[in-house]
Chains A and B, each alone.
Chain A
């Protein structure tokens, strides 16, 4: 079974803090993705990566950065967390069969 794990299920941070969300997949997938999910807005793509050290902006990259130093790991970084970044963050990976495999999500609250 494909497994995508995320470092935390719940996270509470203060405004201005630097936040790291980690995602690891164990299926040797080339592609990895970060989404945020908000009520009424569905899933919105923040960043994605098609290979190690490669990254592409998604639809809402402002306020975020990413890092992919190893194939299995894709990190999302909030340089200076703000209250409008309170959300559910979902990581996903995909390989040659196109469908995406999702992690359990991290519910981030910024106070």
Chain B
């Protein structure tokens, strides 16, 4: 069965510092990969997705993620954190378009002024 691991349930960074949120997945074939963000008391919003095109994917709000097949990773980065980035971030994987989406447990990002 597929699974998604997010290292660190809580990450704190200073405003202006690099954001790195880690995601590893288990899959025998390159899957569809997603990062979602959830602000307090809201639903999830898509940040970016990988669907077997370019391995470096750019998303909204300055975030990007790199698909590394050899490491089965899809880490999310942003060069400079902003206070408004404080939220919960979920990595998700879908094996094929007919499979369920498997969500990781989430990483809560805090940004310190």
Chain A residues close to B by CB (< 8 Å): 4, 9, 40-43, 45, 48, 58, 90, 92, 98-105, 107
Q: A99-B46, A101-B46 are in contact. Are A43 and B32 (CB under 8 A)?
A: no
Q: A90-B43, A102-B44 are in contact. Are A45 and B100 (CB under 8 A)?
A: yes
B49 engages A99 (CB within 8 Å): yes
Number of interface residues, chain B, beta carbon within 8 A: 20
A105 engages B90 (CB within 8 Å): no
Q: A4-B43, A98-B32, A101-B46 are in contact. Are A42 and B100 (CB under 8 A)?
A: no
Chain A, Cβ-Cβ closest to B9: A40
A45-B2 Cα distance, complex, nearest whole Å: 14
Q: Within 8 Å CB of B103, what residues of A? A: 42-43
Q: Within 8 Å CB of A98, what residues of B? A: 32, 49, 51, 94, 97
Q: Does B55 sit within 8 A of A, measured CB to CB?
A: no
Q: Does B28 sit within 8 A of A, measured CB to CB?
A: no
A98-B97 Cα distance, complex, nearest whole Å: 6
Q: Within 8 Å CB of A45, what residues of B? A: 100
Can you list 15 contacts pairing A with B, beta carbon distance less than 8 Å? Answer: A40-B105, A42-B105, A43-B103, A45-B100, A90-B44, A92-B43, A98-B32, A98-B49, A98-B94, A100-B44, A102-B36, A102-B44, A104-B43, A105-B41, A107-B41
Chain B residues close to A by CB (< 8 Å): 32, 34, 36, 41-46, 49, 51, 90, 94, 97, 100-101, 103-106
A83-B32 Cα distance, complex, nearest whole Å: 36
Q: A42-B106, A98-B51 are in contact. Are A103 and B43 (CB under 8 A)?
A: yes
Shortest beta-carbon distance from A4 to chain B in Å: 7
Dominant secondary structure at the A interface: strand
A102-B42 Cα distance, complex, nearest whole Å: 9
Shortest beta-carbon distance from A92 to chain B in Å: 8
A102 engages B101 (CB within 8 Å): no
Q: Within 8 Å CB of A41, what residues of B? A: 105
Kindly identify which residue among A4, A9, A43, A104 contacts B90, using a CB–CB cutoff of 8 Å.
A43
Shortest beta-carbon distance from B69 to chain A in Å: 19
